[in-house]
Amino acid sequence: MTNERQRKELLSAVKRMATLGLVAGTSGNLSARVKTGLYLVTPTSLPYETMTTDDLVLINDQLETVEGEGIPSSESLLHLAVYRKRADVAAICHTHSIYASAAAAAQVSIPPILDEVVVKLGGGVECAAYGPPGSEELAENAAEALGNRGAVLMRNHGVTGVGKTPAEALEACELVERVAQIFLMSQLAGGAKPLPPEVIEAGQAVYRMRHGL
């Protein structure tokens, strides 16, 4: 198998995603850009607990398998659409975590209510227009709503986080889950209020600098 280092990095994030309970069963998926036009993705319908580096599938930007026995993730179009739009992104994580999915089911975007979210994700978390699972429509809607930020909610579905490494993309999904929980809980106390505009601007400036945007 080629790209052993990237395979290990990706698999390590896969195992952690499953351990954190951000997905149920074999749902969710992760990928990493090996180089331009070449990506490692998790296979569809294979239990994360027993997944090995050899199970990861190498695909090109035409969604053709270059190396591997498994079927590439059913959301591979989503991953390819984001990689096409974001040269700064080298890894993508998609999960169905509870609170993020609850916000996505309510079709609400999460406003910038926590400093760490603005600094790490570049602002709030937009809720993308709907697209059926696995479709080009879902892929394009999510990539568009993601913009230059670090994560996006997929309407009535889940969340996608991006980063320079699989660990960073997973961390974005973890952070969205945390802020989604806080956002929804804050409704009990009269609703979350946005941060002061100057704090949002300063946080976004840090994010852009870190990501070369």
The contact set with Zn ion (CB under 5 A) reads 158
Query: Least distance (Å) from Zn ion to the CB of residue 205?
Result: 32
Block residue for tokens 């568009």: 144
| Of 150 and 158, CB closest to Zn ion | 158
| Of 1 and 24, CB closest to Zn ion | 24
156 contacts 211 by C-beta, under 8 angstroms: no
| C-alpha 42: how far from chain center | 13
Query: Least distance (Å) from Zn ion to the CB of residue 55?
Result: 19
| Of 135 and 148, CB closest to Zn ion | 135
Closest residue to Zn ion: CB criterion: 158
In 36-120, where do the E strands start and end? 38-41, 57-60, 65-67, 91-95
| Of 3 and 76, CB closest to Zn ion | 76
Which residues, in sequence order, are CB contacts of 187 under 8 Å at separation 6+? none
d(CA 197, CA 19): 37
d(CA 76, CA 177): 22
Query: Least distance (Å) from Zn ion to the CB of residue 62?
Result: 22
Query: Least distance (Å) from Zn ion to the CB of residue 159?
Result: 9
Name the residues annotated as catalytic: 75
